[in-house]
Amino acid sequence: MTVSTDLPQILVIDDELGPRESLRMLLKTDYQVHTADCVEAGIKLLKEKRPDTIVMDIRMPGMTGIEGLRKIREIDQHLSVIMLTGFGALETAKEALRLGANDYISKPFDAREMREVISRNVERTRVQRTSETAAAEIKELNNHLLKQLAQKERLASLGQASAEFVHDLGNPLTIVWGYVQLLAKKLEQSDNGGGENASSVKELNIIEQNVRLCRELLTMWQGYGSVEGSPPKSISVSAILREVIKGVDAMAAQSGVELKADVCEDPSTLVGDATQIKRAIQNVIINAIQAAAEKKGTVAISCTQKDFYVDIRVEDNGPGITPAQMSKIFDPYFTTKQGKSGTGLGLYITKKVVEDHHGSIKVDSTPDVGTIFTIRLPLSNQ
């Protein structure tokens, strides 16, 4: 029988044949199982196979499990390691936890408990590795951006385009790091048996979506000035809105802001550029969250479809906008966030995108009460 290479990999290190074979038989249906009869052989397999979890006996002749744990941590800080303990080895198991083991199970082990512990730790390793991959992609993207900017001799003529691009990267990267921080906390909890790894998969999907958005924005920026733009496509405004709301959820939670969403079931289809529409909606919602954060307040988001258009309404109970500011909020480089990393380009970009799609954006605001933005976009012929 050929074993799928997509299966998670388990490495069992135990000098006794019985436990090694018992674990191999118990796990072989759901995992690729590699076995080693000593720490030295296990370390070699670790380097070759890069397993998702190691199950290792504490007491072995030659190099002990505790010494093996130290070696493993020198190679991989985040790989899940489960220690097997015989009777009378409880204090040694506790020492293993202090040295970086993730869990321990007593011999003879219960089959159901073993499956649950291994499943939890495999998920923990994969979550950690995925988050590291996302972080590496962000670093690579940033390095690529710096190289591109260094190569642009005509940067002056592209100044506003470059500033828009940097601003656009700020929003998805803010979301990425919000979820990375949330994920780090969950991984800490899982180290103590918190069992939070299942929900972390959703947060990792959001990380990946926003890294992908960064790449799309980079591609779009590199294409500025080209004769042919990307052709418009049929897109769903309500689907884009749901994606944006899902993405900013962690940012709102970190800021103490309650998100309330009422998105219409209709797809609300129009012909346009999905990345551009997403950046426009995202700008408005993130602005609202940042405004509401000052009061630990609320942001209400709704989507209503009419016969010929769809309205996206974003309401916050933040400090509001003064009459003097109201006439300038769509001007480039005007910002009310001095000292808070505001570029003054968010609403300017949003207005330009909305108007490029033959829509309109309206703002109503009362100081000390809050602000309502309404984006109206024309629907395509049904």
DSSP letters of 157-174? TTHHHHHHHHHHHHHHHH
Report the CATH architecture of 232-382: 2-Layer Sandwich (3.30)
Paired strand residues for 57: 84
Provide the pLDDT for residue 80.
92
* Backbone φ/ψ region at 103: left (φ over 0), alpha (ψ -120 to 50), beta: beta
Predicted confidence (pLDDT) per residue in 156-195, tens digit = 444 556 566 666 666 676 677 666 667 666 666 665 544 4
Gyration radius of the chain over CA positions: 26
Regions of the chain with pLDDT less than 70: 1-5, 87-93, 148-171, 173-174, 177-181, 183-205, 208-230, 333, 336-344, 382
Provide the pLDDT for residue 56.
92
> Residue 286: which H helix or E strand, with range?
helix 274-293
Strand ranges, E, within the chain: 9-13, 32-36, 53-57, 80-85, 103-106, 233-236, 258-262, 269-272, 298-305, 309-316, 360-366, 370-378
Instruction: Say how far apart CA 117 and CA 23 lie, in whole Å.
Output: 13
**Hey, how many other C-beta atoms are within 10 angstroms of the C-beta on 149?**
13
Provide the pLDDT for residue 116.
93
Provide the pLDDT for residue 154.
47
Provide the pLDDT for residue 335.
72
Provide the pLDDT for residue 228.
47
Domain 9-109 has CATH 3.10.20.600: no
Provide the pLDDT for residue 340.
52
